[in-house]
Amino acid sequence: MLARGNLIFLKKQTDKTDPSATFSPTEIRLHTTMKKPSYPKIGIRPTIDGRLGGVRESLEERTMQQAKSVAALFASELRYPDGSPVECVIADTCIGGVKEAADCAEKFKLSNVAVSLTVTPCWCYGSETMDMDPHTPKAVWGFNGTERPGAVYLAAVLAGHTQKGLPAFGIYGKDVQSSSDTEIPADVREKLLSFAQCGLAVGLMRGKSYLSMGGTSMGIAGSVVDSKLWEKWFGMRVECIDLSEFAGRMRKGQYDQEEYKKALAWVKKNCPEGKDYNSPTTTRTREQLDTEWEDSVKTALIARDLMVGNPVLKKMGLGEQSHGHNAIAAGFQGQRQWTDHFPNGDFLEAILNSTFDWNGRRAPYVVATENDALNGAGMLLGYLLTNTAQIFADLRTYWSLEAIETASGKKVSHPLVGDGILHLINSGPAALDGTGEQTDAKGKPTMKPFWDVTDAEVEKCLKATTWHPSITEYFPGGGWSTRYRTRGGMPATMIRLNLVDGLGPALQVAEGYTIDLPDDVHDALDQRTNPTWPTTWFAPILTGKGPFVSAYEVMNHWGANHCVMTCGHVGHKYLTLASMLRIPVYMHNIAEDRVFRPSAWRTFGTADLEGADFRACNNYGPLYGKV
């Protein structure tokens, strides 16, 4: 997660037309005391035929131009979590042999390069020019031209990568180009961007923390946080705190008092209360509810400070607490040791996962409900792939069309629905972006990076959400639940990372669409569970194969009670990222022509690609060392 002060500064520095683009005292303090984050960079390696005396000299300009054109593409299309353009580092010279390869490697090391792309329009000496860093995702783009055999080098160097156990992605245009053609073809462009975006996700995770706020929730296996998973596959560490830290900071006032007042006033203005569904005997007093709002805001501030720190705490004499835990993702246990005595974490989870709060638009803070660290990992992957908020949900129910008719008295027919739909509903919170009240250029519902979200869209998301007193039987300590219904017609990808004894992590991916139901049908179905919780109706795309013969089988094959929903059809990016981390995917509905994995994966079988993925991941082991 990026530094809070720099995020606010960047927003107000770049948004010159925003009438709110002035700094409050709190924002000024944040900006002047926090450093700009050092994001990983993409390294570009222009390789060349090293034979001097006419060959190399004739290729220098063209080779370096290819590297610069890719750098320009990445800078124009890819963004870091704070919205700034991705930065590239190009080798000082074209790489014609091992000395220049070593010089490039040294420059990359000093420049915080986390992703490596080799480009060439010609033949080069494969094993002398290749990237040998074992932890850097790497790809090679061999120009498809007949004047010089760039594609021949591509095949040769990929063979070297496979032979040496250093998997690399191969990028090769479908159509032959003239040697003077500097345009990047559409198919090459798509693979370059997909590789770079996924590679940056790997780099952005490395060295960060998952913060376990509390421990195991209600015996949910995903909240038994596995340090080995985070260390070996993600290059991260696990930090743990007891929930008594929240109680202590609340009691001692160890949070920014000015920001607390600002946040509480914002909540009173922008978070409308909905119906209280508690029975007369369990309804809480107005005084109790007001106190629960106050405590909910405090816990949100404290959770954020625990993740990323807050320089205001240092000025309060709390130097140690001001550092935070360097967390890029976190989970909040809540039930039951906390929620039996204190207001639940629904508000903190909903608002931190959103792209806005009382400080304006900002990047989401990834926080998993019930400290389900496996779902938290899935949320983190989705966030880094898209820069958008992620929806944490229970995969609660499969509703067949027949069951819908029985429950509602109405037949439902929808062009995107096959045999039925899935009810995604979390037990209290979800990011407010999940309302679908943000729209794309065609007016369709979507979820955007924070820098593309408008003030009007923030207001719509807030108005589409009501906050209900939590059901006292579930949450004796009180708190608030988030209620909304996701607008239909939004392309979405549902995923789950599972942990399997003897295997390690394995990923499930299902692309589909959110669905609108008629109000009376929605109410009939929604009222059968907890009506204070956020609902998304989801229809997976059915392929007629494996689990995707029906929505029922998708539900039946799901590996856990929780899932993550990411806006957009980005399942192919999940597959690419998973291959970089050496996480096999055992269930997906992505067309074969969209699957992009390292070329070495083909050597583990071409008839059964799912099996080949498992064999390749097992052979290479986790990215950061064998288990």
Q: What is the pLDDT of residue 36?
A: 58
Neighbours of 560 (CB within 10 A): 18
Give the strand pairing for 438-439 and 445-446: antiparallel
Q: What is the pLDDT of residue 144?
A: 85
DSSP code of residue 371: T
Buried b or exposed e, range 581-601, using 16+ CB within 10 angstroms = bbbbbbbbbbeeeebbbbbbb
Distance separating alpha carbons of residues 335 and 243, to the nearest angstrom: 11
pLDDT per residue as tens digits for the range 469-527: 999 999 999 999 999 999 999 999 999 999 999 999 999 999 999 999 999 999 999 99
Let me know if 87 is a catalytic residue.
Answer: no
542-549 long-range contacts, CB within 8 A, separation 24+: 542/418, 542/589, 543/589, 546/587, 547/587, 548/510, 548/589
Let me know if 523 is a catalytic residue.
Answer: no
By C-alpha distance, which of 611, 557, 562, 606 is closest to 584?
Answer: 611
What domains does the chain contain, in order, with CATH numbers? 4-33 (no CATH), 41-205 (3.40.50.1070), 209-620 (3.20.14.10)
Distance separating alpha carbons of residues 201 and 40, to the nearest angstrom: 9
By C-alpha distance, which of 535, 533, 527 is closest to 428?
Answer: 533
Catalytic residue among 82, 292, 346, 370: 370
Neighbours of 324 (CB within 10 A): 19
DSSP 202-238: HHHHTT-EEEEESS--TT-GGGS--HHHHHHHHS-EE
DSSP code of residue 79: B
With a CB cutoff of 8 Å and minimum separation 6, the contacts of 18 are: 11, 12, 455
DSSP 83-95: SPBPPEEE-SS-B
Phi (first) and psi of residue 416, to 5 degrees:
-95, 0
Are 472 and 549 a contacting pair, CB within 8 Å?
no
Coil vs helix vs strand at 45: strand
Distance separating alpha carbons of residues 612 and 360, to the nearest angstrom: 46
Are 92 and 107 a contacting pair, CB within 8 Å?
yes
Are 400 and 552 a contacting pair, CB within 8 Å?
yes
Distance separating alpha carbons of residues 611 and 599, to the nearest angstrom: 15
Give Cα 124 distance to the centre of its chain.
37
Identity (one letter) of the amino acid at 44? Answer: I
Q: What is the pLDDT of residue 500?
A: 97
Catalytic residue among 226, 394, 526, 613: 394
Residue found under tokens 């040791």: 337
Query: Sign (positive/negative) of CA torsion 451, 354, 114, 597?
Result: negative
Q: What is the pLDDT of residue 603?
A: 97
Whether the ω angle into residue 336 lies within 30 degrees of 0, i.e. cis, is: yes
* Stretches in the chain below the pLDDT threshold 70: 1-37, 146, 627
With a CB cutoff of 8 Å and minimum separation 6, the contacts of 459 are: none
CA distances from 222 to 373, 468, 545, 546 (A): 6, 27, 28, 25
Are 215 and 223 a contacting pair, CB within 8 Å?
yes
**Whole-structure pTM over 0.85, yes or no?**
yes
With a CB cutoff of 8 Å and minimum separation 6, the contacts of 243 are: 213, 214, 333, 337, 338
State in Å, rounded, how far the first CA of the chain is from the last one. Answer: 27
Helix 373-386 crosses helix 227-234 at what angle (to 10 degrees)?
20
DSSP code of residue 291: H
Are 324 and 309 a contacting pair, CB within 8 Å?
yes
